[in-house]
Amino acid sequence: MAAVEIIAAKRAGGRLAAEQWREFAEAAADGSWSDGQLAALLMAIAVVGLDVEETGWLVEAMAGTGGRIAPERFTRPAVDKHSTGGVGDKASLVVAPLAAACGLDVPMVSGRGLGHTGGTLDKLESIPGMRVTLSIDELVEVVGSAGCAICGASDEIAPADAVLYALRDATATVDSIPLICGSILSKKLAEGIGGLVLDVKCGSGAVFAEDAEAEALAGTLVSAGAAAGLSTVAMLTDMSRPLGETVGNAIEVVEALECLGGKGPGDLRELSLELVARMLVVGGVSPSTREGIDVATRALDAGHGFERFERMVLAQGGDAAVLSDPGRLLGEAEVAVVRATRGGFVRGLNALAIGQAAADLGGSRAGRGGEIDASAGVRIVAGVGSEVSEGDAVLELRSRDPRRLQGAAAAARSSIEIHDEPGVPRGLVLGTIDADSLSEST
């Protein structure tokens, strides 16, 4: 079918066949459709939607536009983890090396920050010399050396996604669930993995603030993954407040290293252990989540995850010496303190507002090609549940540009909720969705 016919069929609510999705994906990769035609079909997908089988075909088609790693190139079960994005979410920096220390190969293709949400690659680039652009062969080589690699999608991996992602941003179709699935899962299929664990965030700092929308995304991702032949499990986790006690780039790397050293904030440790445990189950290394948590806890407390992280940094050209010197990672910065305006209990720290403050401090790119201040960020001094008096420090803001501190302070201040009673914060892990639970619900 011609491009116009495919667009018209989907716009009218029709169901496209696998070969038509292949034509669309290949056209995005090779430029045989115009941007207008690609954008028109993206909008039709966003408005009309896709069923599970169609979403699976779209995922396969996008993955097929580039190279794919043969599973036998890995010597151990290959499993990955992916987060839908959040504020202070440095879990990938803990999960990848910890899972590697527990017997998995983890070829993790990650992304950069978008708006108020942080990017794993931006965080890693605060380590001097760290290379996050790897060819497929280099990715396999690093995994062979360290057990894990964290890098961006090269031109070899699902090239259709880079074209379509830019158009989604320009056409307000970023929140289309089938298109989110296509973007995430096409790159994961190309990794040659046998299993995937997803961290689907919900709350103010997530792509979907409402739990029902996040649950729908998780369910579709699991179903589409299964349709594409990839064993997939999704965890629903809270993103109404930041994860951990830091938001930024270098500052989050330091906190991740603390966690890998057996310390760090409790919520980051809890989430990382839960994610690794499910990866171990999906990869066939552990028979149950409970046993997986025990295995991961022992490896974390023994420092084996830190050792794997260090090996990964060295293999990707980074200066591993800075890992034991937080001062070198953080660099010099101006600091401003946001204080409590009244006494009481910190009931909430709005993740969206804190993420925006971190971006305003220089922690994200203002535009394409913009520079990031790796030292910029927010440190949470008084977390949710803390009792404070008027004038106590709640947040610390960091930036090399002192002019940014004043502007970011307004967003940071608006994030703080203080009440007379402490309240009961909701749990970190809100639920788990896998193929079995989807079958039971239907």
Q: Which residues are catalytic?
A: 82, 161, 168, 183, 187
Spell 352-383 as b/e; 16+ CB within 10 A means b.
bbbbbbbbbbbbbbeeeeeebbbbbbbbbbbb
Return the closest-CA partner of residue 387 out of 419, 346, 426. Answer: 346
| Beta-carbon count within 10 A of 6 CB | 23
Among positive and negative, which fits the CA dihedral 112, 113, 115, 117? positive
| Beta-carbon count within 10 A of 208 CB | 21
Return the closest-CA partner of residue 69 out of 196, 229, 181, 189. Answer: 189
| Beta-carbon count within 10 A of 70 CB | 9
Tokens of 50: 């896709």
Q: In what order do the strands lie in the sheet with 246-248?
A: 246-248, 377-380, 393-399, 334-339
Chain centroid to Cα 213, Å, comes to: 17
Q: What is the DSSP letter of 201?
A: E
Place of tokens 């075909």: 57
The dihedral region occupied by 172, where left means phi > 0, alpha psi between -120 and 50, and beta the remainder, is left
Return the closest-CA partner of residue 216 out of 173, 181, 174. Answer: 181
- Pairing assessment for the beta strands 231-238 and 195-202 based on DSSP bridges: parallel
Tokens of 312: 């990964």
Tokens of 95: 């999960």
